Structures are given as C-alpha cells and as structure tokens.
Chain A
C-alpha cells in the first residue's frame, strides 16, 4: 500500500502538510508550486531498495513489508539518511531529530490522503491506485479532444 499522486489535482493548498504536522509534530510531506503553473507533493517513496535503510548506522531506518520504518529511539541524528535520499524526502527538525513519512500506521488511511480536498492523493496497492489514475486520465483525454474540436456534448 502506497501513496500515489494525481498531479493534475494538486492545488498547492498545503492541507496535507498541516494535517501531517498536526498528527506527527513535523510535516513529512511538502508541496510546492513549479513555475506557478503546477504543484507537486513530495514525501517518502517507501523505496523497495531503500538507500536510507542501507546507510543508517544504527538501524533506525529499516525496510519493512510495505514501508520504510523509522524508530526514533535508535536514531543518532548523524544526518546521513538526509544525504542519501535521492528525493530529499527525509528531513530533520530543529532538535536534529529525523522524520519522514511512515504512512500513518495508527490509521487505516494516511491523514494526508483523507484530508486532501481534491483527492490528489490516493492510497492503495499499485493496481487499484493506478487503475483509478488511468480511469481519470482517460476521461480527461476524451474530453480535451472533444473541447478542442468544439464538439456538441449533448
């Protein structure tokens, strides 16, 4: 189970950030506008082969069944995980404590996914999520063609 993004729906409202921050103390997801024409949320990819877990000297980061788990008690704040994440998805708070997305294990569905006003974040296994994304994309392609041609839609 992972978090997927339907980029065309992200409106850069930061609700996911604020929700995550409230639930965890620090936000583990961030959204930013690109060229003021689109917005992209970034959070831990829960990589299959996780560089952060490979590098962590204390074993605080470990690859689990469906996510990369983080145990704060084991963290030494060495900061090496921040440097090895290819996506810059791991961060440190003001006390040098590492934090990253843990898919809200205490919830059935992560808070960011529940709160996203536009359903830009999807949570599910790869098949379900990508099926939904493809379904949405297919309809949009059909429509933009119709609009371009100026077709009557009755």
Chain B
C-alpha cells in the first residue's frame, strides 16, 4: 500500500471468480458485522460487503484482503466516493445428501478437494463423506461404529 493521502477512500474489490463464499472475511471484525455480513437463508448464502472504507479504517480494509484464503479481495485507493454503499455476492449452496440441509458452497468444496492428497481426490474412491454435512458425517460414523453392537444387543430382549 502507498502512504495514505488525505481524503483517500479504500474501495473493496472482490473477484467473484475467486471468492468461494467462506466465513473468513465476515468473521474478522464482529464490530462491522452490519456492513460486512454473512447470512445463510435456505440454500442461498449471501455475503454483503461495504463498497468503501474511510481512511481511518484502512487497517480494517487491508486485513480483509490478507485474510482471504483465495486472494479474492483487493483494496483500491480512490478519491471518488462510489455511488453504491454496498454490494453482495450470492452462492447456491450444496445440500447434504442425507439430511438435505445446505452446508457448503461449491467453491468451498472445490477448494478443499484440491488440497487433499492425490489418492483422496480420485472420484472412484467413494468419498461420500464429501456429499454430506458435518453433522451427518458424525451420525454416519456413529452408525457404522455401532452396527455390530446393536445387532448383538437386539438379541438380548425377551
């Protein structure tokens, strides 16, 4: 960043192609959660961004760019106050195959799959856990672990 000049605004620019709709930027500053908000409504996730930060908020703006895992956020200096106060990005979330609850965006799932070891990435390796939400993963693990025990115990009742 260049040295601040008087009256300079920080424009928040988000590359829609890079943003995966995670929670990093919106979690960083709870104080501005009205301006930078994250909400899941049904299958739709919406992240609302403030278009511009004042000079004294420069630190906040810069930190948002740093925290983004994909580098989707950049800060542009400007003198012209933009017309819009905010803008939003929306994501259609993936529904859990087991309970139908929307639990992740496609971008998030792509991000994590890319970073898994090669052998876990292959589509044939029955990675069905990827298609279900964390809560269902726990339930599936519990079901699998308890299967034999349940069968054994069902025999005890008279």
Binding site for B on A (CB under 8 A): 5, 7-8, 30, 32, 34-35, 37-40, 42, 49, 51, 54-55, 57-58, 76-80, 82-91, 95-96
Instruction: Indicate if the CB atoms of B120 and A51 lie closer than 8 Å.
Output: yes
Q: Besides the contacts A58-B67, A77-B27, A78-B69, what 11 more A-B pairs have beta carbons closer than 8 Å? A: A35-B146, A35-B150, A37-B146, A40-B146, A55-B115, A76-B28, A78-B24, A79-B108, A87-B129, A88-B134, A88-B136
Residue on A nearest B104 in the bound complex, by CB: A83
Within 8 A of A (CB), among B15-59: 22-24, 27-28, 30
Instruction: Indicate if the CB atoms of B141 and A96 lie closer than 8 Å.
Output: no
Cα-based distance from A85 to B142 in the complex (angstroms): 15
Residue on A nearest B138 in the bound complex, by CB: A88
Residues on B with C-beta less than 8 A from A58 are 67
* Closest-CB distance, A20 to chain B (whole angstroms): 15
Residue on A nearest B141 in the bound complex, by CB: A87
Cα-based distance from A39 to B67 in the complex (angstroms): 40
Interface residues on B, range: 35 or more
Instruction: Indicate if the CB atoms of A37 and B142 lie closer than 8 Å.
Output: no
Instruction: Indicate if the CB atoms of A79 and B135 lie closer than 8 Å.
Output: no
Cα-based distance from A1 to B135 in the complex (angstroms): 26
Instruction: Indicate if the CB atoms of A77 and B137 lie closer than 8 Å.
Output: no
Residues on B with C-beta less than 8 A from A54 are 115-117
Residues on A with C-beta less than 8 A from B87 are none
With A83-B134, A86-B137 as known contacts, state yes or no: A51 contacts B24, CB within 8 Å: no
Q: Which of B28, B104, B135 contacts A88 (CB 8 A)?
A: B135
Instruction: Indicate if the CB atoms of B137 and A57 lie closer than 8 Å.
Output: no
Top 7 nearest A-B pairs by Cβ distance? A88-B134, A77-B27, A57-B69, A88-B137, A78-B24, A38-B146, A40-B142
Instruction: Indicate if the CB atoms of A78 and B23 lie closer than 8 Å.
Output: yes
* Closest-CB distance, A88 to chain B (whole angstroms): 4
Does B153 count as interface, using CB distance less than 8 angstroms? yes
Residue on B nearest A90 in the bound complex, by CB: B134
Residue on B nearest A82 in the bound complex, by CB: B134
Residues on B with C-beta less than 8 A from A86 are 127, 129, 137
Instruction: Indicate if the CB atoms of B117 and A79 lie closer than 8 Å.
Output: no
